Structure 1
Amino acid sequence: AFWNKLDVLAILLFYVGFTLRFLPSGECFCAARIALSVDLTLWFIRSLDIFAAIRRLGPKLVMIGEMVNDLKSFMLMLTVFILGFGVCFHSLIYGTKVLSWHIPRDIINLAYWQMFGELNSLELFEKNYHANGYALFILLVVYMTIVSVLLVNLLIAMLSYIFDRLHTNTDQIWKFQRYELICEYLSRPSLPPPLILLSLVWRLVLYTLLRCCRSHHLQEIYDQQTRQNTYKLKYNENCASVIEKAEDTYADDYFNHSKLSEQLSGEHEIDEEPINSPQEVVLKKIQILESQVRVIHEQVKATRDEQNQMLNYLDCIMEAIKTIGGTYIRMPKQRHLGADDSTPVSNPSSLQLHTTTATFDSTISSQPPLLFQLYSKSVYETF
């Protein structure tokens, strides 16, 4: 794992710096200081592993790792532009110089820091307005356009894509990190450093005794010390069947999704709306209006049928009231709408007085005639 490699490198640098520290030489002392400084930086980076147990910060470590992997390939491409333009800048500014180990640093120094806005290379050039100065100006414009505008924005887009891709699975990533952290600490000895040496000595003693005499009890103790991260999954037949059904379901979903994606990727034609002439557009609008008129005509016809049915119900109700015993009930003539138009069959303004003689019930006949007329009139107005 990455953290194990970092631990090995940090420990080696510590021992190298610790050894050089006690050598009687000024250069060795300077080298020891450099080694210990780099080693301290590595230990600070190693402390980032603590954040793996935190739900919000743990997935960010995975994002940083993915970004660093993509940054490696990007830096290779960026190095080509830095060296290409840096050598040209150095040759135009300084001309011929004695070969030394400081020249690569000067080349990188001229080209690298200009990406971050350090545009002072032309100010240091004495012959700025000569031919070399104009050539340097043109190269600087091209270099800044490619690096600052193109490559830097490309890097930002790559990192944004990685963040968006991993941000949707942060909970799942954190659960895997937590599982790995638990397994790691279960596999380690119980005592922390530097007391871990006692645990290692105890394991060595158990291994030696186990090699000398075969004992089942010693074997169990040794296995418990060395195989603490071994897990056993116990389940019955019902759990096994449920797991198999879930696997089949997910496999079918994945197969259908992959098949659909292949079909969509194979379709290269884009559906475009046909371009219609003005005559076709007008004709379509006329057809739409005709269909709307037909719908309205059908709705009007249905409304007429409902009105006729309602009038029939009212006629039946009035006949029932007259049968009960209504006298002097003013009623309009029956009006039924025609099938084709809304003109009534008879004149709605003509009214006639219908007088009926009915047999009253004993309860109704005992009431005064005036009260019964008011009752009949109120019933008629209600309907």
Structure 2
Amino acid sequence: VVMAIDVEIWWLRCLSFIIVIPSMGPHLVAITKMLKDLSFFLIIIAVVMIGYGVASRSMVYYPQGNNVTLTTGSPDTSFSGRAIFRNVLYPVYYLMYGDFGDERTDLDNNSGTAWATADQVLLAIHMIFVNILLVNLLIAMFNKRFDEVNEDARTVWHSQQYLFTREYFTRSPFMPPISLIYNIYYLSRMLVFFIRREFFHGSADRSAKTFKIIAINKDLLEEWREFEGASTYTYALNEVKILKAASQKFKKGSDSSSTQKETKAGNSEDLNEAADNVRDVQDNLSKLNSTIEGMKLGFKNYFM
């Protein structure tokens, strides 16, 4: 049983190898997010199913009123995990898929009794709430989730490709169980360099794998993000200004000869504006260089 479940998990794990494919990766991400939505509904459905199962079985299998005993070949009503799952949870679960089994037959055969009538009403309410309301609400949430992922499919794919690459970058180059030996070696190496750095003031492990620099202080990470966003925005804005000035210069240069004087004046203004933009870019670059030098000093304080 354990090996069979292990094979099933292994096949599901193979889905991670195709997540980098642009046409399939976003769909796998949508499935992952749908599972998160499904977990919330499973709790609600489980509560409703257990409530109906306990209430209906307590009426149907009541020993004194309905002549339900172990000697007559009736279901096992003992309070055990196997009996509860077999007689309460298992048949009620398949009601969600429209499989009634002997549920309706047992109730129709005892239509003249009060417990059968009450159970029929309880079954109708249960089917309306679970099969119509909850299931359709779950389908609507799945559609919304897929639309959200589909609109941003390219970004999601790049993100998953990055995570997949980073995962296998940090993994052992050997397959299990040989990878365990490599992991022990790598852990021992980290411990040795940690002792050298902390107690003997030695240098860090320069040959260690580093995919991303992670600061100890979370505030420094936030400063890095703000710096990157501001620098990118400033650079993009200046580039747009320069391209806009160049396009205006090209359009004015193609005017007729009757407007050459005005065009020359406009071109000179555009050139002056472009020169000002270039100077602004140079000033921003000098500021960035000074900021980077300051960050290098901060890196030494955090990582050296």
Instruction: Tell me if both proteins adopt one fold, taking TM over 0.5 as the criterion.
Output: yes
Structure with bigger helix share is 2
Q: Name the structure 1 match of 2:295.
A: none
Give the superposition deviation at 1:41.
2.2
In the alignment, is residue 166 of structure 1 matched against residue 133 of structure 2? no
* TM-score normalised by structure 2 residue count: 0.58
Q: How many residues align?
A: 205
Q: Name the structure 2 match of 1:189.
A: 172
Q: Pick closer, same or farther for the CA change 1:102–1:196 going to 2, 3 Å.
A: closer
| 1:33-72 aligned within 5 A | 34-72=1-39
CA contact (8 A) 2:52 2:126 kept: yes
In 2: Cα distance, 1:230 partner to 1:204 partner: 19
Per-residue CA deviation, residues 133-166 of structure 1 (Å, 9 max, x unaligned), is 2222211111111111111111111111111111
Give the superposition deviation at 1:175.
0.3
Which residue, out of 227, 238, 243, partners 2:209? 227
CA contact (8 A) 1:122 1:128 kept: no
Q: Name the structure 1 match of 2:67.
A: none
Give the superposition deviation at 1:54.
1.0
Which residue, out of 75, 100, 104, partners 2:80? 100
Structure 2 residues without counterparts, runs of 5 or longer? 64-76, 215-227, 239-304
In 1: Cα distance, 2:188 partner to 2:93 partner: 57
* TM-score normalised by structure 1 residue count: 0.47
In the alignment, is residue 109 of structure 1 matched against residue 90 of structure 2? yes
Task: State the secondary structure of the residue aligned to 1:192.
Answer: coil
CA contact (8 A) 1:183 1:229 kept: yes
Structure 1 residues without counterparts, runs of 5 or longer? 1-33, 233-238, 250-383
In 1: Cα distance, 2:168 partner to 2:34 partner: 27
In 1: Cα distance, 2:131 partner to 2:194 partner: 66
Q: Pick closer, same or farther for the CA change 1:194–1:121 going to 2, 3 Å.
A: same
Q: Percent identity?
A: 25
CA contact (8 A) 2:26 2:153 kept: yes
Task: State the secondary structure of the residue aligned to 1:223.
Answer: coil
In 2: Cα distance, 1:213 partner to 1:88 partner: 67
CA contact (8 A) 2:196 2:203 kept: no
Q: Name the structure 2 match of 1:292.
A: none
In the alignment, is residue 175 of structure 1 matched against residue 155 of structure 2? no
Rg larger in structure: 1
In the alignment, is residue 137 of structure 1 matched against residue 126 of structure 2? no
Which structure ranks higher in relative contact order (CA pairs < 8 Å, sequence separation ≥ 6)? 2
Give the superposition deviation at 1:98.
3.1
* Aligned Cα root-mean-square deviation (Å): 3.2
In 2: Cα distance, 1:135 partner to 1:204 partner: 65
Task: State the secondary structure of the residue aligned to 1:102.
Answer: helix
Give the superposition deviation at 1:174.
0.5
In 2: Cα distance, 1:211 partner to 1:149 partner: 60
In 2: Cα distance, 1:140 partner to 1:44 partner: 38
| 1:1-383 aligned within 5 A | 34-96=1-63, 97-105=77-85, 106-119=87-100, 120-125=102-107, 126-197=109-180, 199-200=182-183, 203=186, 206=189, 222-224=205-207, 226-230=208-212, 243-245=232-234
Per-residue CA deviation, residues 291-314 of structure 1 (Å, 9 max, x unaligned), is xxxxxxxxxxxxxxxxxxxxxxxx
With 188-197 and 150-159 compared, the bigger mean Cα shift is at 188-197
Q: Pick closer, same or farther for the CA change 1:201–1:244 going to 2, 3 Å.
A: same
